[in-house]
A and B are shown apart, each in its own frame.
Chain A
């Protein structure tokens, strides 16, 4: 006669070494608690499906905080409610692993409501076992989001009131209203028949993940005799007779037949063409083109550029910084801050320097480029004595009043209009500034233009705008010096 050997699942540790104290062969769960049954169903499913070696189980906060005492697999213990987020991180990092988020009702439906909602909605390829025992067990029997109306807990000593604490949350139904989940079922750990159904559900939920189909969740109605202050037998009866009336058993979502496998991409450490993918210029430093020697009064400029949003203020500054870098200067570019970034005015600070740049903030500019009247009004007083102001005289209807600064008025917008595009005014001014001061060479501008003008078909227009500004400034520089 064959001998029948009853032994525990190899997906449990033989000895629960992580469990403190002398008792290493029993769980810490109370008599009649559902966790032990569910643990067993999960472990046996891991055996049957052959996934123990690649399973990572997340122990939550709650009575199952110590699930890692028992499961012989990868174990992670996490904060209250955050298991679905942790599961997401693990699964994305290790797409081949089977990730189980094991959570209670306080954990999943209260503090972790957001995490479970979004993990389900993203269709994370994880499996959630949600233990609903209508109470906070670990902390001593307080109200859970799933506590029934009228049920007494230590924080609803007179019974839960729907009008004050809200009605119990039906998680399976709630998540089944989302598009992504593949499989959601509610089961109960009560009669042998119900437990057999739970066993099937556990296995199915895990196989959904094995096939990369998407998100699966099994809500498990589970007894808490200690929290409910009932005997284990009464507790089982209470689930079947009371709890299931509000939390009906059944399948709320099953897309396993039509869902297509959606395996996650594996993490790659391929260094091949990594620099190109990161758009990092390869090779040696570019040779510095014909180092310019500007007149000392224009050397090491600290530039403020200001105008309306949409005039290309930031781009003008960026082009100048790029050209300066190509010319061998130390450079910095700093955009303006605050609500100014959202429409209205825009300004930026650019420094080109032969030596290390301290503050990138230009509070006393040696050069002001003003492209509208408010900018000139606001920043004219800041320019240092002996500095230079360039402004768009087609938009600014007043002359510069300072007598201790050099001024170049450029009808930049009109000139850009003549070229057929108002928005090239910034490049007209850029050309003028470079020609007037010689701070960089014209070929520096030609060189950097493709870097700052992303739309190739606009490069020619911008080059012509720079040329117009350049010629204009040369003409006026000559006029001023004679």
Chain B
């Protein structure tokens, strides 16, 4: 199909509709507002629902309602808004409701700023809400993936009856790139658990409560089984020049693109450097990192944060080789030259 030059945030909306999403519940926040705006424009035209909620909290619970009804539905926000949604996200995970949440991460903590950041890794990947749950987390690094991974998020959410998050930053959301949109999805999985407003509903209950400790433990163990399956089947990552690499750079989202350029520049200077880019932040490509740790001399993790994903890399490396970290915060995005300089300093030490 022909390509379209389009903002990542808009590609999310078109991808969602192509994936069969027909309800969007939003609340304005920079730098995610384009998603709600595009949704407000397109959803009603394709027979879907767009509703601007009174709060982030209301929007996540409207999503809970629509997901209970078995339709593909979504919301989008940015970091402080996602913090507000966390209560509902825990309920969604507990009640096993599939849905998609897009987080265009901005600088924090607090009001922070609206510049690109990856400071939400902990809140999304480790669970900002209460209880023992996981969120399938996809990290696109271009406009094409804003479409593709949003569509995948709907598939995975349905497959696991679990919320899935597309986590990007303001760069990926607001940059324009060519996108080739796929054909719309026309077949959807059955949801025999969903409420339909029909007589069979009397046997169905959407809930996250179980006052019996043994009962709740059984439920939580059931969730853990799903998560174990996702860890076996859904890990996605991309490697570049890792075959003969001595140092492997690890980064996701916008950072992975900086690191891609860094690998090229480093190779041009004779440094054997490669890139591992997690596409799924959860489930995390831990096993692959553990394998690589047996044959490389170091990893360098670069994040737009104080060092959050680096914890998962260190867990996977388990002390076998050094794991260096370089992070910029507050919306500062490092240049390729800067990353290369840090890399050379680390190698020389």
Contact = CB atoms under 8 A, between A and B. Distances in A.
B58 A118 contact: yes
Interface string B221-233: 0000000000000
Given A20-B211, A73-B202, A75-B206, A337 B61 contact: no
Contacts of B178: 325, 330-331
B123 interface: no
Contacts of B215: 20
Interface residues of A, number: 75
Contact of A93 (B45, B47, B69): B69
Given A334-B174, A358-B257, A114 B58 contact: yes
Interface string A75-90: 1111100100111111
A358 B256 CA distance: 8
Contacts of A360: 171, 175, 177, 254, 257
Nearest to A66: B209
B84 to A, nearest CB: 12
B271 interface: no
B30 to A, nearest CB: 9
A468 interface: no
Of the four ranges (under 10, 10 to 19, 20 to 34, 35 or more), the interface on chain B belongs to 35 or more
Contacts of B55: 114
B261 to A, nearest CB: 3
Contacts of A56: 195, 197, 201
Contacts of A93: 23, 49, 65-66, 69-71, 73
A92 B198 contact: no
Contact of B54 (A78, A115, A361, A364): A115
Given A93-B69, A280-B4, A274 B46 contact: yes
B343 interface: no
Interface string B27-50: 000000000000000100111110
B113 interface: yes
A72 B175 CA distance: 51
A338 interface: yes
A123 interface: no
Contacts of A364: 335, 337
Nearest to A76: B206
Interface stretch (B12-20, B157-165, B281-289, B310-318): B12-20
A74 B201 contact: yes
A18 interface: yes
B64 interface: yes
A359 B336 contact: yes
A163 interface: no
A416 to B, nearest CB: 25
A269 B207 contact: no
Interface in A257-295: 265-271, 274-275, 277-278, 280-286
Nearest to A121: B54
Contacts of A8: none
A90 B68 contact: yes
A318 interface: yes
Interface in A371-416: none
A241 B280 CA distance: 63
Interface in B253-279: 254, 257-258, 260-262, 264
Interface string B317-349: 000000000000001010111000000000000
Given A85-B53, A358-B260, A274 B5 contact: no
Nearest to A330: B178
Given A68-B205, A269-B22, A358-B258, A94 B197 contact: yes
Interface string A11-38: 0010000101000000000000000000
B208 interface: yes
Chain B's interface: helix, strand, loop or mixed, by majority? mixed
Interface string B172-208: 0011111011001010000000011111011011111
Contact of B176 (A75, A115, A278, A321): A321
Nearest to A317: B176
A333 interface: yes
B189 to A, nearest CB: 14
A33 B198 CA distance: 31
B88 interface: yes
A88 B63 CA distance: 9
Contacts of A115: 54, 57-58, 61
A90 B195 contact: yes
Nearest to B261: A358
Contacts of A82: 57-58, 61, 64, 88
B61 A285 contact: no
Contacts of A277: 42, 45-46
Contact of B2 (A267, A269, A283): A283
A426 interface: no
A97 interface: yes
Contacts of A321: 5, 176
Interface string A349-375: 000000011111101100000000000
Interface in A43-90: 52-54, 56, 59, 65, 68, 72-79, 82, 85-90
Given A85-B57, A281-B1, A334 B62 contact: no
A282 B1 contact: yes
Nearest to A20: B212
Given A284-B2, A325-B178, A54 B195 contact: no
B176 A332 contact: yes
A89 B1 contact: no
B68 A86 contact: yes
A278 B42 contact: yes
A175 to B, nearest CB: 14
Given A53-B199, A322-B5, A357-B257, A334 B114 contact: no
Given A282-B2, A335-B175, 5 more contacts: A86-B68, A266-B47, A268-B22, A321-B5, A337-B170
11 contacts: A20-B215, A52-B202, A53-B199, A56-B195, A76-B207, A93-B65, A115-B61, A274-B17, A275-B181, A333-B175, A337-B170
6 closest A-B pairs by beta carbon, nearest first, are: A89-B65, A268-B47, A358-B261, A97-B197, A74-B201, A85-B61
